[in-house]
């Protein structure tokens, strides 16, 4: 599939875009970091906001790096994409001889590019191997590896803690029972069937497997551990007066950001958002994926 086809297929509406720009204030230029490139919508807006703005873009998905580098090639003199987890922001900036940045944005949502990549196992809409690694080049365990090797208790803890799924223990027990019969859960279809055998097909907006898929994705990619490290390191690399904006999509992420900001408030930062900023009704109607988004921002003292 060529780039133009990919761009059309994986159309991307950046969430809370105007609000993010309002808090980052990129109009006068400087050095900024988009810590989660995704499909490059936020990056494009930042680069378009000022001809004096330089942007470093990070993403742990090598396919994303390739796609966004092509999308933003008209800004190639002011944009550099780096294949890296955002938890490595300090190391990346040191390697680039950048000793401070004016603004950092992190949009923690999983991109449509990843959700709609049929072979990667992020979505239960397609039958695919349960991989779920954001960085396919890493040696990390896949979701199928975890389901094949972890104990019943370990699986239950992951599903309950990261998915907030009340049937976590029953689901974990069913997975281990299947394993004992040589029936390993290796595909998205396998996992959906296991979950539905325990909790049925829930009616309403949320599919019964949604929370389990979320939990496994978080575990495979150590998303919460990376986020904790990132927030503190991102604040460290900001210049005085620099701004950090984080857009989260579920309570586990938002809680980490909120606690980090609270811990550093008055010491290293001033919190700019007393309460998280939410999308407008109009944005949600145009982009339903925005409905759970929360934006928090701070300024480096």
CA dist 250 to 61, 65, 78, 188, 230, Å? 21, 25, 33, 22, 17
For 34, counting Cβ atoms within 10 Å of its Cβ (0-12 exposed, 13-18 middle, 19+ buried), the class is buried
How many angstroms separate the CA atoms of 13 and 11, rounded? 7
Task: Let me know: does 225 contact 200? Beta carbons within 8 Å.
Answer: no
Q: In the CATH hierarchy, which fold is given to the domain comprising 3-113+223-300?
A: Rossmann fold (3.40.50)
How many angstroms separate the CA atoms of 74 and 122, rounded? 31
pLDDT per position as a tens digit, 69-91: 999 999 999 999 999 999 999 99
Query: What's the rounded mean pLDDT across residues 117-130?
Result: 85
Q: Write down the pLDDT at residue 12.
A: 61
Residue 181 CB coordination number (10 Å): 7
**Domain boundary assignment for the chain:** 3-113+223-300, 131-221
Give this prediction's pTM.
Answer: 0.93
Q: Write down the pLDDT at residue 206.
A: 80
pLDDT per position as a tens digit, 185-215: 999 999 999 999 999 887 567 889 999 999 9
List, in sequence order, every residue forming a beta bridge with 99; answer none if it has no partner.
Answer: none
What homologous superfamily does CATH list for 131-221? Putative methyltransferase TM0872, insert domain (1.10.150.170)
CA angle 270, 275, 277 (to 5 degrees): 105
Secondary structure element (H or E) that encloses residue 56, with its range: strand 53-59
Task: Let me know: does 86 contact 36? Beta carbons within 8 Å.
Answer: yes
Q: Write down the pLDDT at residue 139.
A: 87
Place of tokens 């309570």: 251
Q: Write down the pLDDT at residue 263.
A: 98
Q: Say yes or no to pLDDT of 145 above 50.
A: yes
């Amino acid at each position: 599939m060529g780039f133009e086809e990919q761009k059309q297929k994986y159309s991307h509406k950046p969430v809370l875009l105007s609000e993010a720009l309002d808090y980052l204030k990129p109009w006068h230029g400087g050095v900024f970091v988009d810590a989660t490139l995704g499909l490059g919508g936020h990056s494009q807006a930042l680069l378009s906001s000022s001809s004096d703005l330089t942007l470093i873009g990070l993403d742990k998905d090598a396919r994303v790096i390739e796609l966004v580098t092509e999308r933003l090639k008209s800004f190639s003199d002011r944009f550099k994409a780096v294949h890296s987890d955002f938890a490595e922001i300090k190391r990346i900036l040191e390697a680039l001889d950048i000793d401070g940045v004016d603004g950092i944005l992190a949009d923690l949502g999983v991109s449509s590019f990843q959700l709609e990549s049929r072979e990667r196992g992020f979505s239960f809409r397609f039958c695919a191997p349960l991989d779920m690694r954001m960085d396919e080049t890493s040696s990390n365990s896949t979701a199928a590896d975890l389901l094949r090797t972890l104990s019943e208790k370990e699986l239950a803890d992951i599903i309950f803690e990261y998915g907030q799924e009340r049937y976590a223990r029953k689901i974990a027990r069913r997975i281990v029972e299947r394993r004992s019969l040589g029936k390993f859960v290796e595909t998205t279809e396998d996992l959906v069937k296991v979950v539905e055998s325990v909790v049925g097909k829930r009616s309403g907006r949320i599919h019964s497997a949604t929370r389990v898929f979320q939990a496994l994705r978080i575990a495979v990619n150590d998303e919460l551990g990376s986020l904790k490290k990132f927030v503190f390191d991102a604040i460290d690399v900001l210049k005085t007066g620099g701004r950090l904006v984080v857009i989260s999509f579920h309570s586990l992420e938002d809680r980490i950001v909120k606690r980090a900001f609270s811990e550093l408030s008055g010491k290293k930062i001033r919190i700019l958002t007393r309460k998280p900023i939410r999308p407008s009704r109009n944005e949600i109607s145009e982009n339903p994926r925005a409905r759970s988004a929360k934006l928090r921002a701070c300024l480096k003292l």
